[in-house]
Structure 1
């Protein structure tokens, strides 16, 4: 599922443990929930003072800490215009000694939303769409009250539309139920049916609540406006120009091809939990809200190009990076203020055994992409903060983890 959990540095260890205990106890409900937490708005800021390459030992130590008890495998890449660092820890598959491939492919979950939002904003720049267009204009009769919901509302999760993944626990109350249905094909219309009949959470534009339904609707809007599948537009406008050859929108294909690590969910057995391999499953249940497969290198290439102004003009990029006042969310972008100065822009994601964090400096000069296969009750949030500080702050800044609050959206190993 897609579950993003916002935590402050003071609560990092406790929040991770609570999130993972919730996943273990609630089974499929915690594995299929595409949600994100809120945080204070991140103001625009200059790029962080990371003039020197990060400390490779500190980066590797953070990955090792994640794999020590909270993950079966983890990989990351830190990149800027002059150098690249890649690392991994743990094993690619439980029960083996095969190392995690640093160039491996993984499911990125809600990171998909940044790509969909970029395509929508490109269409706005071409005057084929407008942020003030209503859902009713493009998808008549699909959403009750769609004449009051704009594309801007969908992009920023201020629509009030019910999140369809909040009902998946009714379909799959346990992990065993989910595993049995792993090959089911979903259409976007079937996903919308899950949200149909649910009352709006609030009047459009009056509040904020993360809803994967918003991005299913946006995928359909792109298709209506262009006459092509939303995935084809992502490929044509982003993947091919940026030469993201290891990234794909798999549609209904359940297979994760190429070098990759395995993802797991906790299956209850004999009073305890055992890992069930969920690497192979049909991602159409996420569609435009979170189906994408990629690599750390490709995600860094994308967020570097986006924040560097190569995909959108200055005005549209500025709109994309304008956060809702009570959240850290712009238009398909999350923000993170660094204690050493500067704001990062990117997205987090989690889907059935895979967790992703991908961030870039505001100028697109430095990026971090991380993939985790959660397993166990070890701390993930503390090492994540260490990794971010080591990647974007001056060498040695990671030792100041407790000096200033920092909030990071760390998804659970389910759906976000």
Structure 2
């Protein structure tokens, strides 16, 4: 049985009673742009997966599959509950912990410039910030092997109900205030000996970027990634609570008189996530980012190899998650979740094909199954029903911003 607290901590990804009807936006398949032959996506299967999510698990969902020779875009559901306005397939959304891949890329570029090293202890750049900062390295932070307590685990204590959270939606959090939520919390394990997803790691990495470069991490993300790649719809919003341009709304469930009603949480000061999960983007921009990253355009091969070296059993490298589909296809990218929004962004290892989907969770239906179907339709060669008997799950590691 899902409690209100569980639903709050999962960013509304838990079961709720209201189900919305699906309004389908036609899929778009672009014609080939080069002489290279490439499998045209199974548009029917892709759209069916989106419709399945909108039929009981989400108020709205949009996705893009990108390949060198074609682009497919689709959407299902509504942009706002209570309306019939379709989800904008070019809409912007909160990406949550997909932010971590951008931060990690900046850190590794700095490593490539010899301005810091993965083996540097935290104390070298942030003296005295952590009790055991002489034992925790930059690599530990990037890979979630630091053992540092996850500050977002404390948010459910500060905001135990949806009204508490909504009342604080405009609050500005400073990085030192987020770190203060970990004060007095013992290490989870000795650094480097285990794995535990912690947003605190990326708050610390954001501060390290500032110490190394003299600039806020947002400035470095714009200068090093957004501008060179032309990602004009991607934003590091800081304290701005609004989503500019076309977008779908996100919701949290509130129990009232025995029923669950949707509370619109689209407007939110994302400083509560900062370098761990504050960014906004589009499916197009995220696909182009992960295509460039996995295709070797942002990092030298040795550093990209480091980024894609997973900790044993964790399927997580340095700011990148990995997922292996039935048939052995390996994908690299990240998932993200922040109140009202879930994101899945994955790319083939060569960077040639990408899928990004944004979901506004709402409903009691199955979300994982259609997400797996979406991935199989986008990447499996050939498209086939290979899900049966395969324990494949799409994970959103953190309860608030993961």
Say whether the fold is shared (TM-score over 0.5). yes
Q: Name the structure 1 match of 2:299.
A: 312
Using the TM superposition, give the Cα deviation of residue 412 of structure 1 relative to its aligned residue in structure 2, in angstroms.
Answer: 8.4
Q: CA deviation at 1:404?
A: 3.6
Is the 2:63–2:73 contact (alpha carbons within 8 Å) kept by the matching residues of 1? Answer: yes
Q: Which whole-Å CA distance do the structure 2 matches of 1:66 and 1:270 have between them?
A: 27
Equivalent position to 2:214, from 224, 227, 230: 227
* Residues 161-217 of structure 1: per-residue CA shift (max 9 Å, x gap): 000001111110011100000000000000000011110001100110000000000
Question: Which position in structure 2 is the counterpart of 1:26?
Answer: 6
Q: Is the 8 A contact 1:355 1:413 kept in 2?
A: no
Match of 2:10, SS?
helix
Displacement after TM superposition at 1:28 (Å): 3.2
- 1:201 corresponds to: 188
The answer to whether structure 1 residue 361 and structure 2 residue 348 are counterparts is yes
Q: In structure 1, how many angstroms separate the alpha carbons of the residues matched to 2:392 and 2:378?
A: 14
Q: What stretches of structure 1 of length at least 5 have no aligned partner?
A: 1-17, 34-49
Among 160, 164, 168, which residue is 2:147 paired with? 160
Cα separation, 1, equivalents of 2:386 and 2:193: 38
Counterpart mapping for 1:271-286 below 5 A: 271-286=258-273
Residue 413 of structure 1 and its aligned partner are, at CA, apart by 8.6
- Count of residue pairs brought into register by the alignment: 379
1:215-251 Cα deviation digits (max 9, x unpaired): 0000000000000010000000000000000000000
- Counterparts of 2:218 and 2:396, CA distance in 1: 26
| SS of 1:335 mapped into structure 2 | strand
Residue 257 of structure 1: how far off its partner (Å): 0.7
SS at 1:363's partner residue?
coil
Give 1:376's aligned residue: 363
Q: Does 1:113 align with 2:64?
A: no
Other structure's SS at 2:181 match: helix
CA distance in 1: counterparts of 2:362 and 2:179, whole angstroms: 31
CA deviation string 1:133-153 (max 9, x = no partner): 010000001011100000000
- CA offset at residue 295 of structure 1? 0.1
Equivalence map 1:1-20=2 (5 Å)? none
Counterpart CA distance in 1 for 2:342 and 2:399 is 6
Q: What pairs up with 1:237-386 in 2 under 5 angstroms?
A: 237-386=224-373
Cα gap change, 1:125/1:32 in structure 2, threshold over 3 Å: closer, same or farther? Answer: farther
For the Cα contact (< 8 Å) 2:343–2:356, is it kept in 1?
yes
Which residue number in structure 1 is paired with residue 16 of structure 2? none
Q: Matched residue of 2:228: which SS?
A: coil
The residue aligned with 1:415 is 401
**1:51 positional shift:** 4.8
Measured in 2, the distance between the counterparts of 1:121 and 1:216 equals: 16
Instruction: Determine the C-alpha separation between the residues in 2 that align with 1:27 and 1:186.
Output: 23
**After superposition, where does 1:87-236 map in structure 2 within 5 Å?**
87-236=74-223
Which aligned segments of 4 or more residues in structure 1 are displaced greater than 4 angstroms?
410-414
**Higher RCO (CA-CA < 8 Å; seq separation 6+):** 1
Provide the C-alpha distance between the structure 2 equivalents of 1:413 and 1:160, rounded to a whole number of angstroms: 17
CA-based RMSD of the aligned residues comes to 1.6
Q: CA deviation at 1:97?
A: 0.3
Aligned partner of residue 229 in structure 2, secondary structure:
coil
Give the aligned partner of residue 5 of structure 1: none
Asked whether the 8 Å contact 2:38–2:69 carries over to 1, the reply is no
Residue 32 of structure 1 deviates from its aligned partner by: 9.6
Could you state the TM-score of these two structures normalised by the residue count of structure 1? 0.89
* Distance change (3 Å), C-alpha of 1:263 and 1:164: same
Deviation at 1:396, TM superposition (A): 3.0
Relative to the length of structure 2, the TM-score reads: 0.92
Report the alpha carbon displacement of residue 406 of structure 1 after superposing the two structures with TM: 2.8
User: In 2, are the aligned partners of 1:354 and 1:414 still within 8 Å (CA)?
Assistant: no
Contact persistence 2:64–2:284 (CA under 8 A): yes
CA positional deviation for 1:110: 0.2
**Is the alpha carbon distance of 1:177 and 1:297 closer, same or farther for their aligned partners in structure 2, counting shifts above 3 Å?**
same
Alignment match, 1:402: 388
